Structures are given as structure tokens and as C-alpha cells.
Amino acid sequence: MAFKELKDKYQLLRDLMDFIPDVIYFKDKKGRFIMVNQAHAKGLGVKPEALVGKTDFDLFSKKRAMKMTQDDARVMNTGKPIIDKVERATRPDGVDNYVSTTKIPRYDETGKVIGLIGITRDITRRMQFERLRKDKISIEKKLEALEELSAMKSEFISTVSHELRTPLAVIKQLVTVVFNEVVGQINHKQKEVLQKALDNAERLRKIIDDLLDISRIERNTLKLHYSLVDIVDLMKDSEGFFMKLAEEKNIRLKYVYPDEPVNVFIDADRIRQVIFNLISNAIKFTMDGGKIKVEVRILEAKVRIGVIDTGIGISKADLPLIFNKFAQASNLSGVENKGIGLGLSISKKLIERHKGEIWVESKAGVGSKFYFTLRRFYTLDMLGKSIRDKVSRLMKSGVSMHFVSLLILNCSEFRKRMKIGLEPLFKDLHTILDIVLKNAKYEDANKQAMSVINPNAGKFSIILPGASNRQASNISGMLKYKIKQYFASNKVEDVFITLGSLSYSQKVFSQDDGFSPSRFSIKEIYIGSEMRRFKRLSFKTNIKIFLPAEKVELSESVDVSEGGICLVIKHLLKTDSQLKVSFVFPENKEFTIAARVRVAWIKKIELLFGEDADKYKVGLEFINLENKYRKVIRRRLMSKS
């Protein structure tokens, strides 16, 4: 073999020894190191040549060296290798780790064992992953057991509750017969006793209904039946009942509604149940002479319902637990008929099934504020009762339907610079719609489009019963194209319009499926700027919140828009309170955005198994955001669109 070739092969071996991260060493028959690589020497804090001629007893503790020598002797005496022996070790720097060691015998030309070759690899990360894998399997098994136990518990509660309903109904009916003197006259004292029996039977019925509801929710068998409802009308349905109830306790109850209808897709009975729970609690826990306000407030694409009282309030310790099952606030011990603590838990689950948020703000001795939000389809708010009823009838009959709504944002500002009036504009838009429907071959005897126009609000809604997804898509696309052409030909600039499409099918509203609003097909089409008024951008940055008493708290952002910012915070803010915030975009740290904001909504962050984290997700609306800041946010949004 030529000298150069031999030298090249030696260099390859040297490169392997020097650059591989694993420890490699050669030992003679007496356990002395003949050669070690850089990784082995570096781990011991010496040069490779310093280890030549030394044994493990020169480098490690006697106990460890004995163990290593025994392995060496077994390999060299038997000629059998040790492969991937995993053991825990301590590095020279004192750090514990796991290693995998392989030792193989080394032979001379006659086949006689003259030493060994050893390779040791750090497998600490591999062992950590293996431990995590085992932990994961263990946790999954525990979760399965807990889920099975929870299912059994819910099934038991459901079965028992069903079994209790029938005898309770019979008892109540029989007591009622006696109370109404159907089977003979009773005196005043007897009537008082029977009335108490009826009251407690009704209370027991309510407990059974709550138990059935919570078991259905936990087993995911609770069916929601959606219809298009004006939330204000829904509130007014029970207004007289609660007014009378409050009057009996000398409580002033006040309702505050927006001037316009607020249409939402909800299960009316279930939302009515939530409202009943919140207002009933407010009346129950407010003393004589107190005040309660029930308000409905529009927040862009959400509607927020609030029940604010001057009652006994909730202690700080009980506040995080108030929506838990069977929760009983400690400071409510003196209140009669306080229930079993399921009403608020059920209300929370029902609101979450509607894709809303629910939260509470309270102070013991001062009062409580309960709020919840629902998704608002604001482009349908102009629909009157007759059309809503017709839509609900079509829904119940299983007719697939699409809504297409046109909304001119900031219509009052747009009107000031528009050369043509609103009335002629919407008349022209209606003509465009007729042309589009004709071209789409939609109108026939079985398909009659309904349109509702509100020029002053800049709203134009079209309802397409029986339209297929393809037809609705074509109609929306053609409308967008024709409307853009119309504005261009009339030299109307900077028009800011959304053309939104919402659809549902019979399956979505099937009484057997009970799907949530997340199954709606919602499509947004943008005309003009091609961007939604408050398009949101997800980004992470620290936000300074300037609290009362000159306190400053840091929080983490979730998303931002021209209209506001969403963040996560530990401090429970007060709804509708006004604060100052400041933040920067990560790529432009020199420019600080400072703004006044209003707290619009709050959501408690939950962990696994419904446990609460000590954090809140909060929506803040900008108040008169300065134009220079708005431009920066707008540029950021457009750059990411």
C-alpha cells in the first residue's frame, strides 16, 4: 500500500476520532488506554495524549472504576461484546446523565484478544423523551379512567333524575288536587302547609331539571335548536315576570335596550334559561331597597347582556369558583333556597355552546355584575319580525337558505362625500340585484328572494331560500363584480363595503343533531378597500396597562385591529372601565402606540378538566385612537394580509 494512501486512511480515522461527539477509546489487555478521541479527553478536561497509559482507576472513583473494569474483563475473557448498555453516570462537572456504552473485543492477527474498543454515547435526551412517553401513556390511561368514571356518574345522575321525575309529578299533582279542594274542603292552616309542599316540590323539580341538563351537557347529548331571534324581544318576554318579582322585594329593576333590533341565531329556550338564572339570582341575593339593571349592549359583531345588582356580592375567595359545579359561595349561608349550585355552571356551558363568553365581577357587600356575550350577525339586524318569523318557519321545514348582506361601513361619513343620494344608490343596487338573480337563473316559482333595504343605515339584506351553495356563491361573486363596476362608473372613491354571506342547511338545524353556530357557513366579501373594517392580526408582544392608583401591569397580546386589542391579563378588569395602554410592534420597537381603551368583554381562561387558570382573556376597544397610530396598525394589517 502506497504511503500516501496509508496516510489518507489514517487521516480518515483521525477525523472520525476527533469530530464524532461520542466517546471512543481503545484499551489494552491490562485496561490501559492506547488511544482516545477528542470527545473523551474533553469530557475529562485533558488532552488525548494525557490519557495514554492510564486506567479507569486513575480517572474515576474506585466504585465506578471497579464496575467498568469488570465489564472490560468480561468482554476480553469471553470474546462477547456488550451492546448498548444503558446506565446512569456523573460527568466530571458533576452533572448526572444517562449513557449508552458498547464494548467489543479487539483481536490480533492470530485471533487472540489483545484489548477492546469502547464507544459511549450521551442518551440523556432519549431517556427524557422515553420518560415523557411513559408519563403520557400513564396520563392517557388516567384520563380514560376519569372520562369513564365521569360518564358513569353522568349516566347515573341522568337515570336517577328521570326516575325521580315521574313520582314527583304524581306527588305534585295529588297535592294540587287537595290544595284546590277537588276532594273536599280544607282550612286555611292546611292550605298553608300544602302551599309549602307545592313550593318545595317545584324546587325539587328545578333541581332535577338542572341535574338532567348537566348530565346531558357532560355526555354531549344536549340538543340545541336554533332560530333567528331578536334578543331584545326575548328579554321583553320575561320582563313583566321579573318586574313583579322585584317589586315584591322592594327592588328597583331597570331594563336598558338598544334602539335597534339585535338579531342572533340562538336556542331561544336555552338563552332564556340563562337569563332567568342570572336575573333570579340577582333578585334573590339583593336585599330590600336594592337596585338591579339588566342591559343589552351592541359590541360590533357581538351583543353583550349584563345583569348588575347592588346585592350582597361575592367574596374574592369564592369568585374564581362561582361557575363550578355544585359551587356554593360561603357568604350566602343566610339566603333561603339557594339551590345546589348548578345554575351558573349550566349557564356557562350553554353560553359556551353558543360560542359566547360569560364572566362575573363582584365585591362582597357591594354587588355583582354578570355579563355574557353572543355572536351577533349584525348584517341581519334590520330584519323585522315578519321576516324573522318567515325565516324561522323555513328553517323548521328544512329549507336550505343563504343570507347575503351588503353593509356600507361608516355610512354617515360616506354620505357626506357621496355625489349621489342614498335613496338613488340603493334603488340602483336593487336593480343590480334583479339583474344578477336573473343571470344566475335563481328566481322561479319555488325560489322567491326576499330583500330588505335600510338606506340610512347603509344596509341591504337579501335572503335566498332554497339556493344551492353554488348558486349563492355565483350570486355573491356577480354582485361584488357589478357593484364595483357601478361605483367605478359613478366615480365614487374610497367606498368601504362588506358583502357577507351566511348560509345554513337542514342538517345544521336538525333537531337530532343540535350542531352549534360554528357549523354555519359564513362568508365575507369585501368591496373597495378589500379589507374588513376591523380585520384582526394575531401577534405577540408585551402591553403596558395603566391601572388606577398609578399601577402598571404587563400583559401579553393575542391580536390587534383598528378597533381594539385582545390580551391576556392576571388582573380582573371592570367591564366598561376606561384605561390607558401602550405597546410596540416587535419589528418597530422605536414607535410606541399609546391609546385609551374601554373594557368590552372578559373571558376566564380554563385549563384541562375545566379548571380555571389565574388569567383572563380581555377585549379592549380603542377610544378615539389617534390617526398616526391607526395608520401604523393599518399598515401592519395590510402587510400581513
pLDDT recorded at residue 507? 44
**Structural domains in the chain (count):** 5
pLDDT recorded at residue 93? 59
450-459, 509-518, 545-554, 620-629: the lowest-pLDDT one: 509-518
Instruction: Identify whether the C-beta of residue 288 lies closer than 8 Å to the C-beta of residue 328.
Output: no
Residue identified by cell 338591579 is 292
Same domain assignment for residues 117 and 134: no
565: left (phi over 0), alpha (psi -120 to 50) or beta: beta
pTM listed for this prediction? 0.55
Same domain assignment for residues 503 and 435: yes
pLDDT recorded at residue 510? 38
Ordered strands of the 252-256 beta sheet? 252-256, 291-299, 302-309, 367-375, 358-363
Bridge partners, residue 304, by sequence: 297, 373
pLDDT recorded at residue 290? 94
Distance CA 254, CA 602 (A): 23
The percent of residues above 90 in pLDDT, for the chain, comes to 23
In a domain, 47, yes or no: yes
Comparing 429 with 117, which gets the higher pLDDT?
Answer: 117
CATH code of residue 516: 3.30.70
Give CA torsion, residues 328, 334, 340, 341, to 10 deg. -40
In a domain, 1, yes or no: no
Domain containing 93 equals 17-122
67-81, 276-290, 305-319, 513-527: the lowest-pLDDT one: 513-527
Work out the pLDDT band at 298, boundaries 50, 70, 90.
confident
pLDDT value at 272 more than 70: yes
Same domain assignment for residues 200 and 289: no
In a domain, 433, yes or no: yes
pLDDT value at 468 more than 50: yes
CATH code of residue 600: 2.40.10.220
Query: How far from each other are the two terminal CA atoms of the chain, in whole angstroms?
Result: 67
pLDDT recorded at residue 411? 62
pLDDT recorded at residue 641? 53
CATH code of residue 173: 1.10.287.130
Same domain assignment for residues 372 and 387: no
Q: Other C-beta atoms within 10 Å of 451: how many?
A: 16
Same domain assignment for residues 87 and 166: no
CA distances in angstroms from 313 to 199, 296, 322, listed in the order given:
26, 22, 11
The percent of residues above 70 in pLDDT, for the chain, comes to 79
pLDDT recorded at residue 522? 43
Residues 6+ apart with CB under 8 A from 14: none
pLDDT recorded at residue 482? 83
pLDDT value at 437 more than 70: yes
Alpha carbons within 13 angstroms on the beta-carbon side of residue 509 total 23
Work out the pLDDT band at 530, boundaries 50, 70, 90.
very low
Mean pLDDT of the chain: 79
* Interval 562-573 mean pLDDT: 84
Question: Which set of grid coordinates corresponds to residue 534?
Answer: 376591523
In a domain, 12, yes or no: no
pLDDT value at 266 more than 70: yes
Instruction: Identify whether the C-beta of residue 508 lies closer than 8 Å to the C-beta of residue 516.
Output: no
pLDDT value at 118 more than 60: yes
Same domain assignment for residues 263 and 322: yes
Question: Which set of grid coordinates corresponds to residue 190?
Answer: 292546611
* Interval 491-502 mean pLDDT: 56
- Give which of 546, 592, 597 is closest to 571, Cα–Cα: 546
* Residues 238-250: tens digit of each pLDDT: 999 999 999 999 9
pLDDT value at 116 more than 90: yes
200-209, 270-279, 380-389, 605-614: the lowest-pLDDT one: 605-614
In a domain, 549, yes or no: yes
Q: Other C-beta atoms within 10 Å of 393: how many?
A: 11
* Interval 421-425 mean pLDDT: 73
In a domain, 227, yes or no: no
pLDDT value at 516 more than 50: no
pLDDT recorded at residue 371? 95
CA distances in angstroms from 536 to 101, 167, 580, listed in the order given:
55, 55, 20
pLDDT recorded at residue 292? 96
pLDDT value at 431 more than 50: yes
Same domain assignment for residues 523 and 384: yes
Same domain assignment for residues 519 and 617: no
Same domain assignment for residues 597 and 520: no
Work out the pLDDT band at 512, boundaries 50, 70, 90.
very low
Comparing 34 with 523, which gets the higher pLDDT?
Answer: 34
CATH code of residue 317: 3.30.565.10
In a domain, 414, yes or no: yes
CATH code of residue 50: 3.30.450.20
In a domain, 551, yes or no: yes
Strand, coil or helix: what is 95?
Answer: coil
